[in-house]
Chains A and B, each alone.
Chain A
Amino acid sequence: AQKVTQAQTEISVVEKEDVTLDCVYETRDTTYYLFWYKQPPSGELVFLIRRNSFDEQNEISGRYSWNFQKSTSSFNFTITASQVVDSAVYFCALSEPTTSGTYKYIFGTGTRLKVLA
């Protein structure tokens, strides 16, 4: 069965430090999508990135970067020069095909990031 593991429950860093959030997934599918979402204290899910299984290029967006490695089934997320506004819970998710042909997301348990001033 598909599974997403975020082993880090909570991470605290001091502002300006770099931080990496780990995500390891399990899937039988050859075609799948991986996602990262940010959930600030207000509760909404903020989309950060989607990656398909055929694109292993690392991606950088400002202070955010993602490292996708199929060989280790990992999709890690790095924030460079962290800021207090980065404090949130971050979820990694994997799309799973259903018997009806739609996709559902399997979420990890999330990593709570606290950035201290």
Chain B
Amino acid sequence: EPEVTQTPSHQVTQMGQEVILRCVPISNHLYFYWYRQILGQKVEFLVSFYNNEISEKSEIFDDQFSVERPDGSNFTLKIRSTKLEDSAMYFCASSVRNYGYTFGSGTRLTVV
């Protein structure tokens, strides 16, 4: 069964540092997403990406965040200057159509 792969599984970073979370979506999928889950809370939508541009973003996705599909296979989420409150599990997802995602196993980001 095809998988969405996320690396690293756990990242620790200093406050103020830039961090890039990486995802390899399923190869024939066209829609890409990032979600965030602060520890003990619900999963929240950050951004969707289609046709090489952001199609929708939430109010959480401010100027500190950016996404990119640099080479046609990877899909990255960059946080420019991390804050303590960015500590969370970040999930990447992809889909063929605009519903019915496959989620990756997540990257746990800890900002210290």
Contact = CB atoms under 8 A, between A and B. Distances in A.
Given A43-B106, A102-B56, A33 B100 contact: yes
A95 B99 contact: yes
Q: How large is the interface on B (under 10, 10 to 19, 20 to 34, 35 or more residues)?
A: 20 to 34
Given A43-B89, A98-B56, A103 B103 contact: no
Interface in B83-98: 89, 91, 98
A98 B56 CA distance: 7
B39 to A, nearest CB: 10
A104 B95 CA distance: 11
Interface stretch (A44-52, A59-67, A70-78): A44-52
Contact of B31 (A93, A102, A110): A102
Contacts of B28: none
A50 B98 CA distance: 14
Nearest to B100: A50
A98 B55 contact: yes
A37 B35 CA distance: 14
A91 B101 CA distance: 15
B44 A99 contact: no
B100 to A, nearest CB: 6
Contacts of B98: 101-103
Q: How large is the interface on A (under 10, 10 to 19, 20 to 34, 35 or more residues)?
A: 20 to 34
Given A109-B41, A109-B42, 8 more contacts: A44-B105, A44-B106, A45-B106, A98-B56, A101-B55, A102-B55, A104-B33, A105-B45
30 contacts: A33-B100, A37-B103, A43-B105, A44-B105, A45-B43, A45-B103, A45-B106, A47-B102, A47-B103, A50-B100, A91-B42, A91-B43, A95-B99, A98-B48, A98-B55, A99-B56, A100-B50, A101-B55, A102-B56, A103-B98, A104-B33, A104-B56, A104-B58, A105-B35, A105-B43, A105-B45, A105-B101, A107-B44, A108-B42, A109-B41
